[in-house]
Each structure stands twice: as C-alpha cells, then as structure tokens.
Structure 1
Amino acid sequence: MSLYLCVDCGGSKTAVVITDASGSIVGRAFGGPSNFAYLSLEAFESAVSLTVSDALKTCTSPPSVDPVPLPPTGDSPFAAAWFGVSGLDSPSAIAEVTPTLSALLAIPVGPRLSIANDTHLLAAPVRMHPDVTHAVGVIAGTGGIAVSFKEAETGFEELGRVGGWGWILGDEGGGFHVGREAVRQMLAETDAASVRGVPPPASILTTRVLERFGQKTVPDVLVAIHMPYTPSSAVPAQTLPQYTMPSEKRLSSLAPLVFQSAFEDADPLAMRVLEMTSSVFADQIAILLGEQDQSAPNRVKAQDALISFGGSLAGIEAYRKMILDALAKKGHIFRYVEFVDDAAATGAISLAASHAHKN
C-alpha cells in the first residue's frame, strides 16, 4: 500500500509511472495506444493492464522477468491511482470505465482512484505552487484542447473546457490544424495568383509539402489529401507511405514541415500559418479566462493562475511563446507557466505529495 500510480492514456501510447510514498519514481513503462474513444472497453483494459504490469516489473531490484498478475491476487500494491485518459470526455464514459479499472487494480471506487480526461494531469503542477489554486491545462499535440481547474480536497475540479472536438470538428492549435492551414494557405495563394496572372511567392514550405506528396503543383495536393485511404498491405510497394495514412494523418504529419520552415528557415508562409493557428487557439483558451460574474462564474483570472502546457507542438518553445503572446494581447498574463513533458511522472509525484499532505 505504499505505491502511487499514474497512467497517461493517449492516442499514440500509454505511459505509466509508479512512485513510492516519498514521490521517488520506482517504476515506469510504455505501451500501445489507449485513447478510449477509439478502442473497445476490452482493448482499452488490455492496453492498460499490460503497461501497468510491465511497470510493476521494474519496481524490483533487479527488475522482475516474470509478469505481474493483474488483478493482484491479494491487496492492491497501490495506495492510490490517477488515470488521465484521452477520449474520456463525459461522465457516462467515466462511469463506464471506472468499474473495470477498479477491479483491475483492486482499488475500490472512491477517493483513492481518480479517473478523468488526460488534460487533468496538466493541473498537477499547481501542487508545486502554494500561492495558486487554479490552473489552465493546454494540450497542443496532434489535437488541441484547453481545460481550467480549481484545486479541491478530492483532487482537481474541472471548471470549463474548450476544444478537443476531434479533427473533423476542430482541434485548433494542434498538428491537424497546422497541417490543414498550411495546405489552405498554399491553395489560397495559388488561387490569388491565378487572378493576378503571376506566380505565387516562392516558399520553402510549399516545396517541402509538394515533395512530401510527390506532386509538382499545388492544386495536385488536393488529390493527395482527398485520395481514399488504402492499407499499406493493399498498395504497390512503390506507393508513397503518405497515401497509406488516413486523410487526417496526412494533414497532421505536415506539422513538422511547417515548424521547420518557420523556425529554421524563417519562411513567411510557414510563419503566417503558425501565427494564425496560435491566434485561433488563444481565442479558444481566452474563453476560460477573465473576471468571474453571474454570467460566467467559472472564469479563471490568469494573473492568479498557472498555465500548464503538454503535447508535442506545445513542447516547441517558440510556438508556446506565440500562444502566450496572443493571450497577453488580450490581457491574459499568467502568474506561472509550465511545460509538462512527462505527464505520467508529474501526475504520480503530485499524487504521492497530495496523499502525504493528507496523512
């Protein structure tokens, strides 16, 4: 009963960290995808079970080579557990998964078992700053979402949420938005050039996107984006790998080209793309911010709160600065700014600290 578990369930991987009561990391493991929205309950449980079992194996010295059975045969090895699950977006979804995770870990439903959306893990740094009780967690990875929180006795109370609607409906600020906006601006420049009768300005980003899709002209990129998805096993070996991706991944995979072109080559088109996506994302985040009143009792004052970033795009300091600068122009300057590059570790350490404080 002396171990603390945090599980970060994402669309590309499952990350598990285990600490002892002092907050020292004693176990860690990574597994396959565990976004609840895209898996059956059985597949989700399997991904979590395998990864937690692998992490428990690393808690011994030397690490065990034998699988650690879950559910445990006796008492739970965990004093408490915190799950941050992407795709877990409603009370009904949390209610669906809670009995499964409770049985898997032999932790009764209650205060020792916390289950929420993965953005909740970004609230953990509040516990490192005793002069603030409010946080805004911002994820900019493949998708984008922002959630505001207030620290409470039982954990973190969610106050408001914007975004995270998936690639069809939004995901502003994330990789899909960046890739889509890059193609949109390339097409807009080409359309405008057709009216002026002159070629569009030269762009390193345009050249890279054309090379990425094996095309010679910008209009041909439309075909590349909309071409039906075909599994790699059903296409000729010489087919570009991009065409074996679903359309949304073809777009989100362009984000690294945009960032390279903007921050390494100062390409004007790439810079405009990121200025636009960061500004739109800041507009969404700002919905959570401001003075509380009767019409919006859950607003958070930035100057009295922490903003905590997570996700691969937010990991790029220059992009974080663009988002923060756009918020500052709206009058929202946070007391603290954090980037969480290891949400599972931050969550596990925070969980151990909070229980030590209670005890």
Structure 2
Amino acid sequence: MSLFLCVDCGGSKTSAVICDASGEVKGRALGGPSNFAYLGIDAFVDAVKVATSNALKTCVSPASVAPVALPPSEPIFAAAWLGVSGVDSQAAIDKITPAISALLGIPAGRNLIVCNDTHLLAAPLQMHDDVSCAVTCIAGTGGIVVSFTQVEGGGLKEMGRVGGWGWILGDEGGGYHVGREAVRQILIRSDIASVEGPWEVPLKGKETLQTRILELFGLTDVYELLTAIHLPDPSSTNPITDPNVPEYMHFPREKRLSQLAPLVFASAFEDKDPLAINVLKTTSGLLVDQICILLKENTLKGVKANEGVICFGGSLAGVESYRQMLLDRLAELGHVFKRIEFVDDAAAVGAKGLASTERASKA
C-alpha cells in the first residue's frame, strides 16, 4: 500500500491523481462531472470510480489497456483525499464516506478524507512559513470561498465559508453566474432601449457579446433568449432525435448558461466590449463581496488578508485578467493578501500532500 490518491470532484469534471510515497505522480485521469449535490450518491460514486480506475491503469507498467477494477481485490491505497463540490455538511460527508470506503478499500478514518473541494486549494498555507491563514476562492463552473488556519501538526482548520449554493441560488463569480448575468444584462439593455431607443454603438470589426450569444443559440431576436434558457431539460428516457431541433435543446438549462462564460471572456478581454466588461465587473464584484465576509475584523472567525495567502482555483480564476479584476477590487476595499497562488492542479497537490504527511509521520 504505497499509493496515495486524490480526487478533485467538480461540476464540470473529475480529476484523479495517484502518487507514490515519494510524492512522484504515477497516474492521472479525467472524468465527467461529479458534483455530489447535483448527481446524488450513485452517479457520484460512478464518476469517482471511472476516473480512479482510469488513473490506476496508467500506474501499471506497461500501462493497462482496460481500467483497473474497483473495488480492489487487495489493498491498493495507503490513503485517499476527495475534495467534492456539493458537499456542504457533515451529513453529506457521512453519506459519501461508506460508499467511497467500499469502492477504494480504505477503512473510514484518518486515511480517508472526504471534504469540500475548496480544502484542496488551501495546501499553499502549509507551504509558506510567513502566512497564518488562507482564503480559497473557486471560480469555475460554480463559485465558493472558504477561509482556513493551520493547526498543530500541519492540518487545516476551516474558519468560514460563503457561497457555493448552486446555479439556481448563487455560485457568484462562476460560469453559471457569468452566463446568467450576461443574458440578464442583454435583456435589461433591450428593455431600456424599448423606452429610450437604441443606444449601443457597434464595435468596429469586432463581435459584440450580444452577437456571440445570439449566434450560439441560432437566434435573431434578443427576447427569444427567454425561451432558449427556460425550455425544460432534455429527457434522459426520451432523447431528442430530430436533427432539426436546435442544439441548445440537447443541453440542461444550467449548461446553456455556463457555456456562455467563454463568450463573455472573449468579448471582454479580446473585443473590449463594454457590456461584457460590465458583466465581469458585476460577477467578480459579488464574489469579492463574499471574500470580504471572511475578512471582517473583530469577528469570531475573521482572518486578515495581510497575514494570509489567497488561493485561486477553477477555470475562470485561471484567466489572469479575471483574477486581476478580483484582486484589484479587493485592494480598493483595503484587502491586500501577503501571498497570491493559483492552484491549477488541485488533485496533484492533494496527492502529494497526503504522501508528505505520511512521510512526516514516519520521520
């Protein structure tokens, strides 16, 4: 049992990384979405199983053609760490843990960690001696922020969390929110124009955000977006087979919104479309508001930016220009972090962290 597994379970993909006792990555694989709140226990476990099985086969020398069967016939992993989006309570952790324990062949306990995916991003707190706290900020398909301090022995203690309520209720700063806000601002602009008259000045030689979105949906009227967004999700028992049906009808409603985020980013940072820039100022501003809740002074669990590290994760936060919008707004409000990190491979960081903890315990 010399292998250490970390699985980063997100709203868009599952990333499984396996390393050996020295911390060297031996296998990795990607799978489909694994947000526990959206999928439920059975589909969640299946997603973890597929990603982990495929990661295991890359550990075999020579690499196996077929995924390695799970549950294992004999112990494979010394420890595993699952960071799961949609896990927001102890009840959810208690529901997941027995199923994952059986899947991986690891008894429930200190060698099997199940927590929210934000915990994986806090690893830089353990790597820097000059900081006493961390704020993790995920802006991917969804959005959430969590603060941590370090406890004796190198472990992490969650202090506070804000957001991560899912695409219907929030997920400020994430892909759902960006797409939803883009459609909202396009509709608001059209409502105003119906009273005041057209006011948009086309960008010379550039596509506007409105043009990009209407083209994606194959529409010509802004108000047709209402139908395109609100149409019910496709049925899994009665799939659409008519080739004349618009492509967006094949996707669930949340995907219709989150797929707009790349269009907003292109319009904002490539075309310099004022509307797209305003969308991102709105979404990033609301995410910053959530971070500021964690930084409130003279509160029970508030942390100080100037004593900490902010750790970004997620596809949207991976765009430097968007990340800078967040940092600039924080600075305007008087919050400048001592260190800034972007964790682009949380599963690898987690797997290496498990191995490092094991080595330290044996030293």
TM-score (norm 2): 0.92
Q: 1:195 to 1:270 in 2, by over 3 A?
A: same
Letter in 2 for 1:171: D
Contact in 2 for aligned 1:190/1:199 (Cα 8 Å): no
Question: Which residue in 1 is equivalent to 2:185?
Answer: 185
Contact in 2 for aligned 1:290/1:300 (Cα 8 Å): yes
Q: Say which of 223, 233, 237 aligns to 2:239.
A: 233
Q: Say which of 269, 278, 282 aligns to 1:272.
A: 278
Q: 1:18 to 1:220 in 2, by over 3 A?
A: same
- Secondary structure (helix, strand or coil) at the match of 2:202 reads coil
User: Deviation of residue 333 (structure 1)?
Assistant: 0.9
Check if 1:218 corresponds to 2:219. Answer: no
Question: Which residue in 2 is equivalent to 1:313?
Answer: 316
Letter in 1 for 2:213: V
User: Deviation of residue 113 (structure 1)?
Assistant: 1.4
Q: 1:249 to 1:306 in 2, by over 3 A?
A: same
User: Deviation of residue 72 (structure 1)?
Assistant: 2.9
User: Deviation of residue 42 (structure 1)?
Assistant: 2.9
Q: 1:194 to 1:92 in 2, by over 3 A?
A: same
**1:312-349: CA deviation from partner (whole Å, max 9, x where unpaired):** 11110000000111111111111111111111111111
Question: Which residue in 1 is equivalent to 2:46?
Answer: 46
Q: Which shows bigger deviation, 115-124 or 104-113?
A: 104-113
Alignment map for 1:1-359 (pairs within 5 Å): 1-65=1-65, 67-74=67-74, 76-152=75-151, 153=153, 155-202=155-202, 204-231=208-235, 233-234=239-240, 236-291=242-297, 293=298, 296-359=299-362
RMSD: 1.9
Q: Percent identity?
A: 59
**In 2, Cα distance between equivalents of 1:240 and 1:91:** 42
**In 2, Cα distance between equivalents of 1:16 and 1:45:** 13
**1:7-55: CA deviation from partner (whole Å, max 9, x where unpaired):** 1112232211111111110111222332212334233223323322322
**In 2, Cα distance between equivalents of 1:233 and 1:181:** 29
**In 1, Cα distance between equivalents of 2:318 and 2:130:** 25
User: Deviation of residue 235 (structure 1)?
Assistant: 5.4
**In 2, Cα distance between equivalents of 1:101 and 1:49:** 9
**In 2, Cα distance between equivalents of 1:212 and 1:51:** 31
- Secondary structure (helix, strand or coil) at the match of 1:351 reads helix
Letter in 1 for 2:94: A
**In 1, Cα distance between equivalents of 2:69 and 2:346:** 25
Q: 1:335 to 1:222 in 2, by over 3 A?
A: same
Q: 1:22 to 1:269 in 2, by over 3 A?
A: same
Q: 1:288 to 1:64 in 2, by over 3 A?
A: same
Q: Which shows bigger deviation, 254-263 or 93-102?
A: 93-102
Gaps of 5+ in 1: none
**1:156-180: CA deviation from partner (whole Å, max 9, x where unpaired):** 2211111110111111101111111
Letter in 1 for 2:357: S
Q: 1:194 to 1:230 in 2, by over 3 A?
A: same
User: Deviation of residue 67 (structure 1)?
Assistant: 4.8
User: Deviation of residue 244 (structure 1)?
Assistant: 2.2
**In 2, Cα distance between equivalents of 1:148 and 1:135:** 6
Q: 1:4 to 1:133 in 2, by over 3 A?
A: farther
Aligned length: 355
**In 2, Cα distance between equivalents of 1:354 and 1:146:** 25
Letter in 2 for 1:323: L
**In 1, Cα distance between equivalents of 2:232 and 2:69:** 43
